[in-house]
Amino acid sequence: MEAAKEMSSLWAELEATMPDSKEELNLHFSEKVDTSIVFLLKQAGAQLYSKEKDKCVQTSKIILDYAWEKLNTGTWKDVDKEWRRVYSYGSLFKALGLCTQDHSLKEAIKVCDMGLLMGASILDNILIQVINILQKHFTIAKRSSEDGNIDCTRKKIKGSSCLFYPVMQLETAIPQLLCPSLQYFRDNYLMPQKPVILNGVIDHWPCLKKWSCDYICEVAGCRTVPVEIGSRYTDEAWSQTLMTVDDFVDKYIVNQHSSIGYLAQHQLFDQVPELKKDICIPDYCCLGEGDEEDITMNAWFGPEGTVSPLHHDPQQNFLAQVVGRKYIRLYSPHESENVYPHETAILHNTSQVDVENPDVKNFPLIERATYQECILSPGQILFIPVKWWHYVRSLDVSFSVSFWWS
């Protein structure tokens, strides 16, 4: 009885996000989309509104399989947005059609995540609305199940002993400030483009007390996210895949898989509003030229030993450390010739040199390059000026948040 009541409540919330009728779905596409696919989309919509959910799921699978081929032909930048809209509609119809039993909610959430990652916005970002409702009901069902499971283990982020702990030199240390005024930061660091560590700026962030593997799995465990496999993106064996946060934590954080997996993406905070509520955009970003919506927030979550090779970014960067510690080395843009950037267009912003173990025979100029360095700890923010080269290595299991702004 309770399960039926819960499903009835779920469907009522989902229906409230949908247009009042199938005619309002806006299933209009350019001639680039095959008429047969448009027919199937209209059929799936009609099946959904007539409560033929099983048929809707089957029709949506055909749509998604066909659209997937279109999305994976050629390069991503050449994929027509119309086919991304098709994929989003197929994801929406399939996810809603799956919402008949508790055990289907996890799959429905995955379908929505794939729509968000691969598709385009439809019906005023309805996939985000739907997935928030699904996750709320899935979490309730999951908690009810765990309440009766006395063997339920809780995963916590724990520090680990780093095999190589860098020795810091006073002359290379990045300066630190305690809550500088906006004007002081602008005049002494932003305008002259000098790196600095800011202390006391994010002490009020809830994430500093809340975030653990257990909490992240609780609020985002069922979400499908992109994961980078490999210790650094310049390795030949480096690759990308999609997996749930639960699987990522179990494989690469808790069980210390032989390879390294790293969750690095800018959509996580849009996908999981609970995490976004635990952080704030630093006030210093107001010194930039753009608006708040122009600021890009990135999540960086991974095990000890994960490396970001020496590279530079096209915008100013505030790197906020939430969990664990990171060793970071910075080189001024004036040192660009000495750090040997890759000559290819794709990696032109990445150095060929492993700065902690340089090959001085092939890259002799690296020895004359001057740098600054630090170990960034939880609660600290590092200001990395635009175009400054930076190398990052996680000393522990680490979760960082970066803010890119202009």
Q: CA nearest 48: which of 101, 94, 1?
A: 94
- The answer to whether residue 39 scores a pLDDT higher than 90 is yes
- The answer to whether residue 378 scores a pLDDT higher than 70 is yes
Say whether 301 sits in a helix, a strand or coil. Answer: strand
- Two structure tokens written together for 176: 């630190």
> Looking at residue 145, what is its pLDDT?
59
> Looking at residue 305, what is its pLDDT?
87
Contact 249, 211 (CB under 8 A): no
Say whether 240 sits in a helix, a strand or coil. Answer: strand
- Two structure tokens written together for 21: 């009728």
Distance of alpha carbon 400 from alpha carbon 320, whole angstroms: 6
> Looking at residue 159, what is its pLDDT?
46
Across the range 206-210, mean pLDDT stands at 96
Count CB-CB contacts under 10 A for residue 335.
18
Distance of alpha carbon 255 from alpha carbon 245, whole angstroms: 14
- The answer to whether residue 255 scores a pLDDT higher than 80 is no
> Looking at residue 152, what is its pLDDT?
44
DSSP 195: -
- Two structure tokens written together for 220: 């985002």
How is 183-202 classified by DSSP, letter by letter? HHHIIIIITTT--EEEESSS
- State the chain's mean pLDDT as an integer: 89
- The answer to whether residue 307 scores a pLDDT higher than 60 is yes
How is 112-140 classified by DSSP, letter by letter? HHHHHHHS---TTTHHHHHHHHHHHHHHH
3-state per-residue secondary structure call for 233-294: CCCCCCEEEEEEHHHHHHHHHHCCCCCCEEEEECCHHHHCHHHHCCCCCCHHHHHCCCCHHH
Say whether 145 sits in a helix, a strand or coil. Answer: helix
Q: Collect all residues with Cβ–Cβ distance below 8 Å to 312 and sequence separation of at least 6.
A: 333, 349, 386, 387, 388, 389, 390
> Looking at residue 194, what is its pLDDT?
98
Q: Which amino acid is at 349?
A: N
Is the CATH number 2.30.40.10 carried by domain 170-405? no
Q: CA nearest 297: which of 204, 404, 163, 183?
A: 404
Q: Are strands 176-178 and 307-311 parallel, antiparallel or unpaired?
A: unpaired
Contact 365, 338 (CB under 8 A): yes
Sequence ranges of the domains in the chain: 2-147, 170-405
- The answer to whether residue 366 scores a pLDDT higher than 50 is yes
**C-alpha separations of 341 from 176, 306, 336 in Å:** 29, 21, 7
- Two structure tokens written together for 19: 């247009």
Burial of 115 by CB count in 10 Å (0-12 exposed, 13-18 middle, 19+ buried)? buried
The lowest-confidence range among 3-17, 38-52, 187-201 is 3-17
- Two structure tokens written together for 69: 């081929």
> Looking at residue 253, what is its pLDDT?
87
Distance of alpha carbon 215 from alpha carbon 181, whole angstroms: 33
Return the bridge partners of 199, or none. Answer: 178
Across the range 146-166, mean pLDDT stands at 52
Residues in the chain: 406
- pLDDT band per the 50, 70, 90 thresholds, residue 4: low
Q: Roughly how many angstroms between the first and final C-alpha of the chain, as a whole number?
A: 55
> Looking at residue 135, what is its pLDDT?
87
Q: Collect all residues with Cβ–Cβ distance below 8 Å to 21 and sequence separation of at least 6.
A: 49
Q: Which residues of 371-387 are buried (b: 16+ CB within 10 A; e: fewer)?
A: bbbbbbebbbbbbbbeb
Per-residue pLDDT tens digits for 337-365: 999 999 988 889 999 999 999 999 999 99
Per-residue pLDDT tens digits for 52-98: 999 999 999 999 999 999 999 888 888 899 999 999 999 999 999 99
Contact 205, 322 (CB under 8 A): yes
> Looking at residue 176, what is its pLDDT?
97
DSSP 50: T
Stated as kind and residue range, the H or E segment containing 78 is: none
